[in-house]
Amino acid sequence: MATLTDQFGIQEALSKLGIKEINNGTSTGSNSFANGEIIESYSPVDGTLIAKVKSSTKEDYEAAMVKAQEAFKTWRLIPAPKRGEIVRQMGEELRKYKEPLGQLVSYEMGKSLQEGLGEVQEMIDICDFAVGLSRQLYGLTMHSERPMHRMYEQYHPVGIVGIISAFNFPVAVWSWNSMLAWVCGDVCVWKPSEKTPLCGIACQNIIQKVLERNNVPEGVSCLINGRENGDRMNTDKRLPLVSFTGSTRVGRHVSKTVAERFGNTILELGGNNAIIVSEHADLSMVLVGAVFGAVGTAGQRCTTTRRLIIHESMYDKTIDVLKNAYGQLKIGNPLDSNNHVGPLIDKDSVKNYLEAIEKAKAEGGKVIVEGGVMQGEGYESGCYVKPCIIEAKNSFEIVQHETFAPILYVMKYTNLEEAIAMQNDVPQGLSSSIFTQNMREMELFLSQAGSDCGIANVNIGTSGAEIGGAFGGEKETGGGRESGSDAWKAYMRRQTNTINYGSELPLAQGIRFDL
């Protein structure tokens, strides 16, 4: 009988991506620094050991940094639009590899094939965005208070950008950071999650070809593996910027450690996102937004809908519609497009999910749609769980916490001010949304007295942001912004320049200093 991997073409995808010696061999990518302990990559889809990857030792880490430092000296001198042209070619290369890379994302991380392909599409889109940006790294000019003086500001690259990424967006988050950093003139050292090391190798293989073709030093993009290298990056003064995506717990540590050495961070941490379902909501729209938001990627998006705050007059109707939809969800292999919900990343995650349900019950939560672990054929990895719905209070300790699994907490409200207060009353501040056809309600939700999140949507769920906007959140989500808008400024240092083209030397603020 064909194995699942063969059935869905994974072996072929891996070979197209240049990942060799799979199944118990060791696998390394181009320009990766890998002589350390073995990291085993298991697929949550079927429990198969896909490959063993070597992590990077302290010496490997050092070699990567030296190579990156050298590369920066050359890369920063290449005009930004020329760097943009190289990024454009990377986008072309990603277009060629969209299918196998999307398959690998799905197989190694466990999200649906459609979402895996969507993640690669985001990478392509950010390349296009970065190409345009390479001609738009604008600084302002100002009028000087002194005669015959000119003032302006310009942006310079910062140097080496350290990228530490989470398992759930194993390729897109890297590209959001690296494509912008590259057009800005920085070089990048990437440490992917140890849960998805093959995705890192695949990306590195794809872009390395472009760097070689353009005779660019390969240290422009370095890949290192292994959790302990995260801490090396935090304390390394050669990294003026660390862009960290992951849990609030680890992010807090990264933030403190990097700040201690006056380095900068972009922090993209946990969310606890809510949808407000108003009495003026179109329920058919809520259905798609809430169900995809809560169960898509098996609840493992930072923007996953975790709370539904429903107007009391809509409560029973909404719950009926949700129960019906949850009853139709197909749970199974994410590479099979008939399924809606794939696996959690690993068994630790399954344990967290089960514990969260127990905690919610212990705090007085009422189960509306029962959860549980799927058993039997097709679920051998032990990572498939049933999306569940629990009626809860916003103040429950477990509701205040991000559990990275498909658990949706539902609660009632009476007036919109109360709903907005509930939506804001969590430590995190990533994504939020309201479903309403009432203009006053939407404007209040978006006003300064409304949502306190980095993302606030109307008649759209909490998940699935576009690359054109700045992405990120407030409070314990970390305050960072990535991707579109002017997020590029975080990857550059701003310099204010004043030029005196006269023959006098007047001092600022009218100060006289006669000699």
Name the one range near ligand NAD by CB under 6 A: 57-65, 159-167, 286-294, 355-363. 159-167
Give the pairing type, strands 141-143 and 482-483.
unpaired
Which SS3 state, helix, strand or coil, does residue 443 take?
Answer: helix
Reference 98, options 214, 204, 16; nearest CA is 16
Angle at 385 between CA 382 and CA 387, to 5 degrees: 175
342/337 Cα distance (integer angstroms): 10
Binding mask 427-466 for ligand NAD (x = CB under 6 A): ---x------------------------------------
Taking alpha carbons only, the member of 84, 117, 134, 129 closest to residue 470 is 129
Distance, in Å, from the CA atom of 454 to the CA atom of 214, rounded to the nearest integer, reads 38
Residue by residue, DSSP assigns 150-163 as EEEEEEEE-SEEEE
Longest CA–CA separation in the chain, Å: 93
Q: How far is the CB of 169 from ligand NAD (least distance, A)?
A: 5
Binding piece for ligand NAD, criterion CB under 6 A, among 216-224, 248-256, 381-389, 392-400? 248-256
Give the helix/strand (H/E) hosting 433.
strand 431-435
Q: By CB under 6 A, is residue 350 in contact with ligand NAD? A: no
* Residue 168 found at the interface with ligand NAD (CB under 6 A): yes
Task: Please report whether residue 250 would count as binding ligand NAD according to CB under 6 A.
Answer: yes
Q: Which of 352, 340, 339, 347 lies closest to 404 in space, CA to CA?
A: 352
As a whole number of Å, the end-to-end CA separation of the chain is 93
Does the protein bind ligand NAD through residue 302 (CB under 6 A)? yes
Binding string, residues 385-424; x marks residues near ligand NAD by CB under 6 A: -----------------x-x--------------------
Point out which residues pair with 152 in neighbouring strands.
141, 497
CB 210 within 8 A of CB 30: no
Q: Note whether 177 binds ligand NAD by CB under 6 A.
A: no
Q: How many residues does the chain have?
A: 515
Query: Of 2-10, 163-171, 355-363, 391-399, which segment contacts ligand NAD by CB under 6 A?
Result: 163-171
Task: State yes or no: residue 185 binds ligand NAD (CB under 6 A).
Answer: no
373 belongs to the binding site for ligand NAD (CB under 6 A): no
# of chain residues touching ligand NAD (CB under 6 A): 28
268 as an active site residue: the answer is yes
Using the minimum distance from each CB to ligand NAD, give the nearer residue, 57 or 165: 165
List CB contacts of 263: < 8 A, sequence separation 6 or more. Answer: 237, 239, 240, 241, 242
The 8-class DSSP code of residue 415 comes to S
| Residue 181 or 254 with smaller CB distance to ligand NAD | 254
Structure tokens at 271: 């969310």
Taking the least distance from each CB to ligand NAD, the nearer of 80 and 302 is 302
By CB under 6 A, tell whether 477 contacts ligand NAD. yes
Residue 236 near ligand NAD by CB under 6 A: no
Among 133, 206, 269, 277, binds ligand NAD (CB under 6 A): 269
Instruction: Write down the least CB distance from residue 243 to ligand NAD, Å.
Output: 10
Cβ 451 vs Cβ 467: under 8 Å = no
Residue 240 neighbours by CB under 8 Å, 6+ apart: 158, 159, 160, 161, 263, 264, 493
Give the contacts of 459 (CB within 8 A, at least 6 positions apart).
282, 285, 289, 433, 434, 435, 436
Selecting among 93, 115, 122, 268, the annotated active-site residue is 268
Shortest Cβ 257–ligand NAD spacing (Å): 7
**Binding residue (CB under 6 A) for ligand NAD from 271, 334, 406, 450:** 271
Comparison of 190 and 326: residue with beta carbon closer to ligand NAD: 190
Which residue in 107, 169, 379, 445 binds ligand NAD (CB under 6 A)? 169
8 binds ligand NAD (CB under 6 A): no
Interface with ligand NAD includes 193 (CB under 6 A)? yes
Does residue 166 bind ligand NAD (CB under 6 A)?
yes
Q: Nearest distance from residue 228's CB to ligand NAD, in Å?
A: 8
CA dihedral in degrees (348, 352, 354, 359; nearest 10)?
160
Q: By Cβ distance, which residue is nearest to ligand NAD? A: 230
**Minimum Å distance from CB 325 to ligand NAD?**
24
With contacts defined by CB under 6 A, name the span among 116-124, 130-138, 164-172, 393-401 that binds ligand NAD: 164-172
- Residue 15 parent element (H or E): helix 10-16
Residue 273 near ligand NAD by CB under 6 A? no
Closest distance to ligand NAD from the beta carbon of 3 (Å): 27
Torsion of CA 468, 470, 472, 475, to 10 degrees: -150
Taking CB under 6 A as the criterion, the residue among 26, 247, 264, 424 binding ligand NAD is: 247
Residues noted as catalytic: 268
| Residues near ligand NAD (CB under 6 A) | 164-169, 191, 193-194, 227, 230-231, 234, 245-247, 250, 253-254, 268-271, 302, 402, 404, 430, 477
